[in-house]
Structure formats: C-alpha cells, structure tokens
C-alpha cells in the first residue's frame, strides 16, 4: 500500500477563507479551490458550501469522492479532538461545531482533524525536511508561536489532544504578558502580534522615527510589525536591531528547552523563519549553546522549513494521511 499513489482531501479552516484541496500521497497538489466566506459566516451556511466545493474540486481532478481515501481538517484551536468539534475562537464565528462528523456524513469517507501546528509537523514529516526521521519538532512563527511534535514516529497529542503548545513554555515569569494570560511565554517574545504591539508601544509618540519610513510601514503606527522589525534590523536601525536580537536570543532559549526535553533529531522553523532565513537562523544557532546540552544539540539539526509556503497547502492532506497511518490504512 505504501507504494500506491492515493488521493486525500484537505480542508484548511481560516477566518477569511476555507481552502480545500486534493493531494496525492507523494505530496503533489492535484486540485484546489476555496470557500471565500471562511468561518466568519454561520456554520450552517458554510458547511453545505464546503461539501459542494469538495465535490467540485474532485470533479476538477477527474475524481469521484469515492476515489479519495480520507479527509483531513486543519483548524486553529481550541479543538475538541475527541468530539471532532471546533470550539469558540477569536477569529471564527463558530462555537463547538461538529465539523468532523458532519463531513463524514457529507463526504462519506474517513475524516480526521488537528490544529495547524500539528498539521505543519506532519507535512514536514511526510513530505519536507523531516522525511524519514522519527523524532521531529516543528515551530510555526506567525501571529503566535505554535508547535508540533513527532516522537518515536508518532504525533504526540497528549492526554486531551493539546500537547505541543510550545509557544507557551515560559521563559521568564517577569517577561511581557502573552495573549494566553501568562507572562514571559516564548510567544510573548517571538510571536508576530506580541512583537508588533511592543514595537508600536515604544514608538507610539515618536512619529518621526526611522522605523516609520520603512517600505510597507508608510508612516502608520499599525503597520509597525514583526516584518518591520526584521527589515529595520537589516538596515541597522537601533531599536529594530535590539528587538531582533531579543527575538533570536529567546527563540534559542526555547529551542534549547525543547532539545533538552525531547532530544529530537531535528527542529524545523516555519513561517516567519522561512522569510527571514539565515538572518534569523545564524544568531539563533550562535546563542543556542547557552541553552542546550552538547549531547542534545550534537544530534539535532535546526533548520528552516523545506516546504516553505507549500506547507499550508499540505496541512489538511497531511492530517488525513496521519489519521490513516495511525489507523493502519496507510504508511509513509
């Protein structure tokens, strides 16, 4: 079965869009489309659209739904993994919706679900930098910081399905407040939203500062973002250099904790790290020996995502493949 090319369906739930695609077990996208309203529209209105678009995507690929071996839902948390529900989230209009069971009925195929960070590590594990490895961690750095862990060749989910919230390991109890309500989380130091808010707070009454002149900022306080810090640091603007250095230092601290805790073969950095490349990776590796044992770091590669932007497309299909893998119906 491992050598047979099969097709899986992915449903990626977002606030502004729902992306639906079919991929094969080699990681190639066969066909895709989207439900433009996203999960901001009422669930009862959107669910029939998801099923309709899934059928259209299958037809575009020259397939029947019966030709597809499974479906994976990739969604932001919080999720009720046991009940197959997406719970109330700040970016979605839905609350405790039974999406997994509704898709099983509407598509007549096995349906699995997981959060976007777990989907990221699965995509890297099946198709990207981590292919063939047994112990891998993926860190996604976007609005927040998320994580996914493969340990011993199996996705680590924990007792209630919320394992891998690596953005909320606490680095300093006296650090900045995180969106989760705690202080000093990795996300509070390295998450896009937190970095942007700290920068905006520092420059709120300094409209003539050099940071406001960066392309894309255009003099607007609300445009001072994680990306602005990165670009300002490249230009040597002192406040950006200082903040970028702290991001790299704290990310190295977090990675060191993960190395010493999980002893992985590889830690993959995605999203913001993908765009920053060596400008982020080199200083992180410089600081890393201060936080990780030599024994742990010697056997662990820290690298940028091999899939890059394609990881989002393969998230849902990878959730489907992992569900089938754990059910003994497919193996990589």
Closest of 193, 194, 142, 186 to residue 167, by C-alpha: 186
Distance, CA of 193 to CA of 144 (rounded, Å): 7
Distance, CA of 72 to CA of 320 (rounded, Å): 4
Beta strands in the chain (DSSP E): 7-13, 18-24, 29-35, 68-75, 79-80, 85-86, 111-115, 136-141, 145-151, 154-155, 266-271, 301-304
Distance, CA of 118 to CA of 161 (rounded, Å): 10
DSSP character string of 234-250: HTT-HHHHHHHHHHHHH
Distance, CA of 266 to CA of 264 (rounded, Å): 5
- 104-120 confidence digits (pLDDT tens): 999 999 999 999 999 99
Distance, CA of 198 to CA of 220 (rounded, Å): 15
For residues 293-308, average pLDDT:
96
Cβ-contact 79, 114 below 8 angstroms: yes
- 125-168 confidence digits (pLDDT tens): 999 999 999 999 999 999 899 999 999 999 999 988 889 999 99
Distance, CA of 61 to CA of 191 (rounded, Å): 38
Cβ-contact 316, 13 below 8 angstroms: no
Cβ-contact 15, 39 below 8 angstroms: yes
Buried b (16+ CB within 10 A) or exposed e, 13-24: bbeeebbbbbbe
pLDDT at 91 over 80: no
Encoded tokens for 213: 């002149």
- 238-254 confidence digits (pLDDT tens): 999 999 999 999 999 99
Domain architecture of the chain: domains with CATH = 7-115 (3.30.420.40), 129-304 (3.30.420.40)
Encoded tokens for 281: 């990776």
Distance, CA of 54 to CA of 60 (rounded, Å): 10
Encoded tokens for 273: 């790290």
Cβ-contact 203, 239 below 8 angstroms: yes
To the nearest 10 degrees (0 to 180), the angle between helices 310-326 and 116-127 is 90
pLDDT at 89 over 90: no
The answer to whether the peptide bond before residue 78 is cis (omega within 30 degrees of 0) is yes
pLDDT of amino acid 90: 72
- 8-59 confidence digits (pLDDT tens): 999 999 878 899 999 999 999 999 999 988 888 999 999 999 999 999 999 9
Closest of 266, 258, 262 to residue 136, by C-alpha: 266
What does pTM read for this prediction? 0.93
Tell me whether residue 331 is exposed, middle or buried, using C-beta atoms within 10 angstroms of its C-beta: 0 to 12, 13 to 18, 19 or more.
Answer: exposed
Cβ-contact 175, 187 below 8 angstroms: no
- 203-221 confidence digits (pLDDT tens): 999 999 999 999 999 999 9
Distance, CA of 87 to CA of 71 (rounded, Å): 20
pLDDT of amino acid 1: 44
């Amino acid at each position: 079965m491992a050598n047979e090319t099969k097709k899986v369906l992915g449903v990626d739930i977002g606030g502004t869009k729902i992306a639906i695609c079919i991929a094969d077990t080699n990681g190639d996208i066969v066909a895709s489309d989207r439900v433009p309203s996203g999960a901001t529209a009422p669930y009862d209105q959107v669910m029939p659209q998801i099923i309709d678009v899934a059928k259209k995507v299958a037809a575009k690929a020259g397939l029947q739904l019966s030709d597809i071996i499974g479906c994976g839902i990739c969604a932001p948390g919080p999720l009720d993994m046991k009940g197959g529900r997406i719970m109330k989230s700040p970016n979605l209009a839905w609350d405790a919706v039974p999406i997994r069971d509704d898709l099983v009925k509407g598509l007549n195929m096995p349906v699995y679900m997981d959060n976007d960070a777990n989907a990221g590590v699965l995509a890297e594990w099946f198709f990207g930098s981590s292919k063939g490895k047994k112990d891998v961690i993926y860190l996604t750095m976007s609005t927040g910081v998320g994580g996914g862990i493969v340990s011993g060749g199996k996705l680590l989910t924990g007792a209630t399905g919320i394992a891998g919230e690596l953005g909320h390991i606490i680095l300093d109890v006296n650090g900045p407040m995180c969106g989760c309500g705690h202080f000093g989380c990795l996300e509070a130091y390295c998450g896009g939203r937190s970095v942007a808010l700290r920068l905006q707070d520092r420059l709120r009454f300094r409209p003539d500062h050099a940071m406001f002149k960066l392309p894309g900022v255009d003099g607007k306080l609300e445009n001072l973002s994680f990306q602005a810090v990165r670009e300002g640091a490249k230009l040597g603007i002192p406040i950006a250099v200082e903040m970028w250095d702290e991001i790299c230092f704290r990310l190295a601290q977090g990675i060191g904790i993960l190395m010493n805790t999980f002893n992985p073969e590889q830690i993959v950095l995605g999203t913001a790290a993908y765009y920053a490349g060596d400008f982020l990776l080199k200083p992180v590796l410089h600081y890393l020996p201060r936080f990780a044992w030599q024994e742990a770091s010697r056997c662990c590669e820290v690298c940028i995502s091999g899939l890059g932007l394609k990881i989002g497309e393969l998230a849902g299909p990878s959730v489907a493949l992992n569900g089938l893998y754990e059910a003994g119906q497919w193996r990589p």
